Chains A and B, each alone.
Chain A
Amino acid sequence: MKQKGLSVKSVVAIGIGAAIYVILARFTSIPTGIPNTNIEIVYPFLALLATIYGPVVGFAVGFIGHALNDFLMYGQTWWSWVLATAVLGLIIGLYGMRLDLEHGEFSVKQMVMFNIIQIIANIVSWLVIAPVGDILIYSEPANKVFLQGAAATITNSIVILILGTILLKAYAATKVKKGSLHKD
């Protein structure tokens, strides 16, 4: 059955994905010891979801998940950072369309490519969108927001590089490979 707009699966993936996002953001951020820099497991999760379900789901989960989490935890949101998370999901999702995790494929070459893309996505999100948004919307001093952005870029890139790759590989390993059945 072909239908216009979002498929049912995408709608559910956005809903459940955003719920998981909120729970992971709430409970699984591990302090590194450096002030205000946490290891956030939500970003590897967002990367996984975006590669499985594509850019639209990646964008929507980032947007809704981050906004809901901010509202439920802080009572307000920083729209610039919400948008940055959404764009991170979007860019990784765009690359994810070229991957085929559903059939258990995740080669070393794809791993390298995935990480190059995710680092670019992190730079676009945290070093461009989030700080520029902070300056335009909230008119905060430029050097403060760019320093925050740089810290977020570095930690989130490293977290996705290590944990994201592990997560994607583990997900691919749970799937049956194409043509793995043999006739005896």
Chain B
Amino acid sequence: MQDDKILGYQPGNTFVHKLNATTKLIFLLLVSVACMVTYDTRFLAIVCIFSLICLKIAGIKWRQISFIVKFIIVFAIINIIAVFIFQPTYGQDLYGSKNILLNAGYFTVTKEELFYLLNVILKYICSVPLVLLFLLTTNPSQFASSLNKIGISYKISYAVSLALRYIPTIQTDYWAISAAQQARGNELSKKANLGKRIKGTLNIVMPLIFSSIDRIDIISTAMQLRRFGSKKKRTWYVYEPFKPADYAVTALAIVLVVIVAILWHINSGRFFNPFK
């Protein structure tokens, strides 16, 4: 009935699919932290191109990710405009110089501001493909086991995998309750006024929440009967040992982080300044 439009695991047989989930998680975390920290344009540009190539290698089709990419583009544009409107002088403050391109009072456009905005855009492009790649090529159970592998307690890892497991179920419940309420004349579309829509949504949310709280009781009883949580450690059925390719990819992630550290030293800070 409803197209779910939530990203999920798509089985496949490419190089990226075959990598260990732990490797992919480490790579994603290290590289996105590196991209978060640095404002070095050269580094960001290289990671951008690299992550787009990875998407290609993993055989991900445009239609699988088109809706989310469009969504992100709109969001990024709004954010960039907001950054510009609130402080058009931010770029010149950061880079400590002023090359005016267009003189317009408060909204004077400087090269520095445009350069800063370019960096912000690059930062978006860097991390998004990597996350998409991870979500589309990683099995949720392996994801939980890899969270545990990098040192997060297995109970929290298990909670994350429970969440991933139950998102589709709760989504089905949500639409079932919504259809039932609409059959009873509950108006939720844009035609209804705000008060009615809030009341209508509450009519769906209340049964959903209360039935889910009952479900928490049932599942925790079932898990308790199976002695969940009685030991300090556990093993994972889907666990896989590291292969040479995994070591190579992990090493690449570490190299990228080292490069960011070196760039920090060269640029004496987060920002690469071509205006000096």
**Chain A: residues with CB nearer than 8 A to chain B?**
1, 3, 5-9, 11-20, 22-24, 26-28, 30, 32-33, 36, 39, 41, 45, 48, 52, 60, 64-65, 68, 71-76, 137-144, 147, 163, 166-167, 170-171, 174
Contacts and interface: CB of A to CB of B under 8 A. Distances in A.
A147 B156 CA distance: 34
Contacts of B32: 76
A52 B205 CA distance: 17
Contacts of B204: 28
Contacts of A13: 216, 220
Interface in B199-226: 201-202, 204-206, 208-210, 212-213, 215-217, 219-220, 223-224
B220 A41 contact: no
Given A9-B217, A16-B216, A41-B201, 19 more contacts: A1-B224, A9-B216, A11-B156, A15-B158, A16-B162, A16-B215, A18-B159, A30-B201, A60-B156, A64-B160, A71-B131, A72-B6, A72-B167, A73-B71, A75-B7, A138-B36, A143-B87, A144-B82, A144-B83
A75 B163 contact: no
A166 B162 contact: no
Given A73-B68, A74-B68, A5 B83 contact: no
B98 interface: no
Interface string B134-163: 010000000000000000010110111111
B183 interface: no
Nearest to B132: A75
Interface in B73-120: 75, 78, 82-83, 85-87, 90, 94
Contacts of B128: 74-76
8 contacts: A3-B230, A6-B156, A15-B162, A30-B194, A32-B194, A137-B36, A139-B39, A144-B82
Contact of A20 (B132, B194, B208): B208
Nearest to A137: B36
B171 interface: yes
A82 to B, nearest CB: 13
B170 interface: yes
Interface of B: 6-7, 32, 36, 39, 68, 71-72, 75, 78, 82-83, 85-87, 90, 94, 123-124, 127-129, 131-132, 135, 153, 155-156, 158-167, 169-171, 174, 194, 197-198, 201-202, 204-206, 208-210, 212-213, 215-217, 219-220, 223-224, 228-230, 270
Nearest to A9: B220
Contacts of B219: 12, 16
Contacts of A3: 229-230
Contacts of B153: 5-6
A152 to B, nearest CB: 14
Given A12-B223, A16-B163, A144-B87, A171 B229 contact: no
Contacts, number: 172
Contacts of B68: 73-75
Nearest to A42: B205
A171 B230 contact: no
A167 B165 CA distance: 26
Contact of B167 (A22, A147, A167, A171): A22
Contacts of B129: 75
A5 B230 CA distance: 10
A72 B75 CA distance: 15
A166 B197 contact: no
Query: Which of B7, B124, B132, B212 has its CB near the most chain A CB atoms (within 10 A)?
Result: B212
Nearest to A70: B131
A20 B87 contact: no
Contacts of B229: 3, 5-8, 11
B228 A15 contact: no
Contacts of B198: 30, 39, 163
Contacts of A7: 229
Given A12-B162, A30-B198, A141 B83 contact: yes
B174 A23 contact: yes
B189 to A, nearest CB: 12
